[in-house]
Amino acid sequence: MFDSKKSVLQEVCFSFLNKTNKKLFIKRDDLIDEFVSGNKWRKLKYNIEHARQLGKKGILTFGGAYSNHLLATAAACHYYGLNSIGIVRGEELTIESNEMLQKCSDFGMELLFISRTEYANRNESSFVNYYKSEFPNFYLVPEGGANYYGIIGCQEIMLEAGFDFDRVFIAQGTTATSCGVLTSLKNGTRLSAVPVLKGFDTFGEMKKLLSYSGFEQEWVDELLHLVDIHTESHFGGYGKYDASLLELMQHFYQETAIPLDPVYTGKLIHALCEYCLATSEIAEKILIVHTGGIAGGLHVSRSEGYVFN
């Protein structure tokens, strides 16, 4: 139903990088679907398949007030005839609190609002077991689709893009997307991870998710040597940005017609530019993965005046 063939591989010419020795390509996962966009479909694809194999009637998952993952889950379940439940961080919120939650509800997602304190336990087994026993007919997917099935879905990104890149840039939240890409790399390609959270422990989080998902520890330790972390593009933390980031995104859009969002992909391009300028003399073929994040323009309306079209 969602077709990753729509995710074309495009060469990018961005004048900012003209004087560098880099060749840039972008994997347009943002084109997969308006709402199940970017890495969302990658992370949901095998979770949905698994839920259906188990004969579950729907998916229960978790997210914040502006969660791309909640919206994508609501939309994907709607299209696949599954029910969906979203456990939302913030008991003060309602369906009317923002467009994202409204849209989730329009897709038929039942939203349950819980306190931030409760939500903080989302990865504890007691918390997970509570929801499993309350909703036995639902398959539980962790926040951000970060589990084994999410990772193997993301392994298909490189399979489609090919393996002849020197480096791949990925924005990081839960790390599921970068874990999928890392575990599918070949030929010594390096992974440039761009955490959007301040003080994020990329190695620790990737190690934790990969071992929890059943990947062999020794292999994981070996793979992590291929990871470079770009720690200086978080703009103060999750969801934070400034006028200079919006200007860079605007500039990128004007030259490439590729929209970015300020939460993930804008920061990705910022880290890419910083890296390319700092290593301009090194010839490299770089792949950027466009992980979406601009569902129906909903994020755009949050970014104060940044308009794509």
Ligand X SMILES: Cc1ncc(COP(=O)(O)O)c(C=O)c1O
- The residues that touch ligand X, with contacts defined as CB under 6 A, are 38-39, 68-69, 144, 171-178, 264-265, 291-293
Report the sign of the C-alpha dihedral through residues 271, 273, 255, 170, in that order.
negative
* Minimum separation from the CB atom of position 309 to ligand X (A): 19
3-state class (DSSP) for residue 232: coil
Contact 74, 66 (CB under 8 A): no
Q: Which is nearer to ligand X, 172 or 213 (CB)?
A: 172
Q: Which is nearer to ligand X, 20 or 175 (CB)?
A: 175
* Minimum separation from the CB atom of position 29 to ligand X (A): 9
Q: Which is nearer to ligand X, 20 or 210 (CB)?
A: 210
Alpha carbons 283 and 281: distance in angstroms, whole number: 6
Alpha carbons 161 and 184: distance in angstroms, whole number: 11
* Minimum separation from the CB atom of position 175 to ligand X (A): 5
* Minimum separation from the CB atom of position 268 to ligand X (A): 8
Q: Which residue is nearest to ligand X (CB)?
A: 293
Q: Which is nearer to ligand X, 20 or 26 (CB)?
A: 26
* Minimum separation from the CB atom of position 113 to ligand X (A): 21
Q: Which is nearer to ligand X, 4 or 265 (CB)?
A: 265
Question: What phi and psi, each to the nearest 5 degrees, are found at residue 276?
Answer: -65, -40
Count of residues for the chain? 309
298 vs 117, 145, 258, 304, CA distance in Å? 27, 20, 16, 12
Among residues 1, 104, 103, 110, which one has the least CA distance to residue 49? 1
Q: Which residues contact 81 (CB under 8 A, 6 or more apart)?
A: none
Q: Which is nearer to ligand X, 20 or 142 (CB)?
A: 142
* Minimum separation from the CB atom of position 196 to ligand X (A): 7
Token pair recorded at residue 130:
């509570």
Q: Which residues contact 88 (CB under 8 A, 6 or more apart)?
A: 62, 63, 64, 65, 67, 70, 101, 111, 112, 113, 114
Q: Which residues contact 103 (CB under 8 A, 6 or more apart)?
A: 35, 71, 74, 295, 296, 298
Q: Which is nearer to ligand X, 189 or 291 (CB)?
A: 291
CA terminus-to-terminus distance, the chain: 27
Q: Which residues contact 291 (CB under 8 A, 6 or more apart)?
A: 29, 30, 38, 39, 170, 171, 177, 264, 265, 268
Contact 227, 202 (CB under 8 A): yes
* Minimum separation from the CB atom of position 273 to ligand X (A): 17
Q: Which is nearer to ligand X, 78 or 290 (CB)?
A: 290
* Minimum separation from the CB atom of position 247 to ligand X (A): 20
